[in-house]
Amino acid sequence: MVEKIHAHAGKILRVNLSNGKITTEPTMRYAKNFLGGRGINQWILYKEVKPGIWPFDPANRLIFGTGVFVGTPAPTAGRLSIDSKNVYTGGIGSANSGGHFGPELKFAGYDNLVVQGRSRNPCYLWIDDDEIEVKNAEHIWGKTTWATDDLIREELGDDDIQIADIGPAGENLVRAACIVSNGARVAGRCGLGSIMGSKNLKAIAVKGTGEITVANPEKFMQLVDEFRERILSNNGMKRLMQWGTNYILEISDLSSGNPVRNFQDGYWDSKKVQKLSTGALEKYIVRRLACFACPVHCSRYLKISNGPFKGTEGEGIECTTSKDFGCKLDIDNLPAVIKAHILCNQYGLDLSNTAGVIAWAMECYEKGILKKEDLDGLELDWGNYEAVFELMKKITFREGIGDLLAEGSKRASEILGKGEKYSITIKGQELYEVLRRQKGWALGVVLSSVGGGHLRGAPQTESLRISSKEGKKFFGVSTAGDRTTYSGKAKLVIYFENLKAIADSLNLCYFATQYLSPYLPSPKDLAKLFSAATGKMMTGRELMLIGERIHNVEKAFNVREGISRKDDMPPERFFEPIKSGPGKGERLEKEKWTKTLDEYYKLRGWNVKTGLPKRSKLEGLKLGYVAKELEKLGKLA
């Protein structure tokens, strides 16, 4: 029985599935330098997962992390960071999900959970406050994530426990496999579900009864109220409340910013967009849903009552779904897109990594590289959603062509020895974002330490078109709102990379730190909240320094694995112009890109030519250990 848990000083739980050893250590050992959540996860990963330990090795770690604010009423701070080696890139893997699992883990007394080793038989982990048990999961193996939740809740006789689990995709080591909690909140990217599967770990169930205490409750609650007010009055957040994220599909189309037919174009027929629009979605919405402590309720519970998909229901869809399964595969049938979303959640497949490899297969089919007979008889025409469902099943169970597609488009094309130019990946991971119009956004996505993705350095200042005065004031970058220029974007991306490292280490929602001061909290605001929670004085500058440290650790891990500046290029496709729509003709320019990389590496204090970290920078960040190690490996600048 746990009673009072200090927001800033819980424990790290470590479970070795190979030999059943269970230990704890104080979070404070790492919190000073790495804050929490993603920061601590990544540091443990760097220290313990050395080169030559591969994703599916027992010695790989799968690390779950919460953060100081998690479990408190701090709005949106109910998230969970999951970190491990990346099955796509070989570098760091990192993903983040909402829901209620993170806070529950913290109520049980654990800021972080390190899973290592590999169980001999399928198992699940049962964390009941300080009673930890590795339980047999033979009877659950093979089940969908939803059935798994039901079976475990029934077995443990408690409907209130929180569960993070994998579906059959994870069990079958499909690279696109994700980790799902609440049946719909997903840590999607980097193939973390397949790593969980490689450990024969079907699920983690948690029940926590502790209460989170903060150092200065009065001050903390005052700041929390202010924070909530700012969220509720923010325009971007209002749109999320009203429509969920799906509205972004419509907005993106206005600038030809959609990944149409595997990124071949950016503009999707407006009639098709309308069919997947927020308006069209209305009639399927049963109710609005939110993650723990979040006032926004951006999620929707959907139910299809008529037609061929009658009976399909569940939480969804995101703009990720309508872009990935909508325009990327050219499916303009909303019920089919909803169905694809639900299937992903049940199989435990990441939306983007799944749609990405299917889009590749569809383009290969279009170009005659893959033929019907290569595809177990499927006709992979754009928009053929029945074939897409069939492929999703084949990928999940590695049936027929699914066994190849389960490796992702990059490896699949390498294995086939063809179709490599249609594999739209960054560092090997399927891409979600379109990278032509917004130069800073493109830079942030491509530089992301996980292999693509807009959740790290990509600035939304461009799509918000903030004024040059605001840009100057908040980031020292007057062009922050100007999507057309590369100028200043290196500096801007660095700002967001550092900021997001903090946000993920405190486990605040992406959206809550994206729409920016004065609308939403600045680093200084976060530092104040942190100080009230922990009783330790913290400044915005200090926080950003921690963010920089975390980013440097991730960079060093990637460098150690052979990922370097050469991997910071966008796919060739984005140097070709958009073919239609308002953004027609827009593209990235190789020369400017390269120059911007120069600038980025210079500002980062890394070697401009090789991209390797410098000793001075690492030591300045108190990462002398990292410098020493990279030097030994010949990978220090």
Under the rule (CB under 8 A), what is the footprint of its own copies?
16, 18-19, 21, 48, 50-59, 88, 90, 116-118, 120, 141-142, 171-173, 198, 397-400, 402-403, 406-407, 410-411, 414-415, 428, 562, 566, 634
DSSP state of 613: B
State the Cα–Cα distance between residues 52 and 61, nearest whole angstrom: 13
H helical segments located in 561-636? 590-604, 615-620, 624-632
Cβ distance to its own copies smaller for residue 406 or 445:
406
Cβ distance to its own copies smaller for residue 55 or 99:
55
Tokens read off for 67: 């953060």
Cβ distance to its own copies smaller for residue 392 or 458:
392
Q: Is 16 helix (H, G, I), strand (E, B) or coil?
A: strand
State the Cα–Cα distance between residues 70 and 506, nearest whole angstrom: 7
Q: How far is the CB of 549 from its own copies (least distance, A)?
A: 19
Q: How far is the CB of 421 from its own copies (least distance, A)?
A: 12
Q: Are 327 and 268 in contact (CB under 8 A)?
A: yes
Largest Cα span, the chain: 68
**CA quadruple 604, 607, 613, 614: dihedral positive or negative?**
negative
Q: How far is the CB of 417 from its own copies (least distance, A)?
A: 8
Q: Are 53 and 91 in contact (CB under 8 A)?
A: no
Cβ distance to its own copies smaller for residue 292 or 422:
422
Quick one: CA torsion of 557, 559, 564, 567, rounded to 10 degrees?
Answer: -30
State the Cα–Cα distance between residues 335 and 341, nearest whole angstrom: 10
Q: Please confirm whether the linkage preceding 308 is cis (ω < 30° from 0).
A: no
Q: How far is the CB of 110 from its own copies (least distance, A)?
A: 21
Cβ distance to its own copies smaller for residue 20 or 217:
20
Q: Are 91 and 428 in contact (CB under 8 A)?
A: no
Q: How far is the CB of 173 from its own copies (least distance, A)?
A: 5
Q: How far is the CB of 54 from its own copies (least distance, A)?
A: 4
Cβ distance to its own copies smaller for residue 425 or 461:
425
Q: How far is the CB of 562 from its own copies (least distance, A)?
A: 6
State the Cα–Cα distance between residues 220 and 48, nearest whole angstrom: 35
Q: How far is the CB of 424 from its own copies (least distance, A)?
A: 17
Cβ distance to its own copies smaller for residue 19 or 305:
19
Q: How far is the CB of 108 from its own copies (least distance, A)?
A: 25
Q: Is 186 helix (H, G, I), strand (E, B) or coil?
A: strand
DSSP state of 614: P
Beta bridge partners of 506: none
Matching residue, tokens 């429509």: 243
State the Cα–Cα distance between residues 605 and 618, nearest whole angstrom: 9
Cβ distance to its own copies smaller for residue 60 or 66:
60
Q: Are 361 and 405 in contact (CB under 8 A)?
A: yes
Q: How far is the CB of 370 from its own copies (least distance, A)?
A: 17
Matching residue, tokens 């983007």: 352
Question: Which run of H or E residues covers position 270?
Answer: helix 270-275
Cβ distance to its own copies smaller for residue 58 or 236:
58
Cβ distance to its own copies smaller for residue 14 or 230:
14
Whose CA is closest to 542, among 496, 498, 602, 604?
498
DSSP state of 129: T
Beta bridge partners of 301: 287, 315
Residue-wise DSSP of 544-598? HHHHHHHHHHHHHHHHHTT--GGG-PPPGGGGSPP-SSTTTT----HHHHHHHHH
State the Cα–Cα distance between residues 351 and 626, nearest whole angstrom: 34
Cβ distance to its own copies smaller for residue 145 or 514:
145
Q: How far is the CB of 48 from its own copies (least distance, A)?
A: 6
Q: How far is the CB of 403 from its own copies (least distance, A)?
A: 5
Q: How far is the CB of 394 from its own copies (least distance, A)?
A: 8
Cβ distance to its own copies smaller for residue 53 or 241:
53
Distance from chain centroid for Cα 229:
27
Cβ distance to its own copies smaller for residue 141 or 519:
141
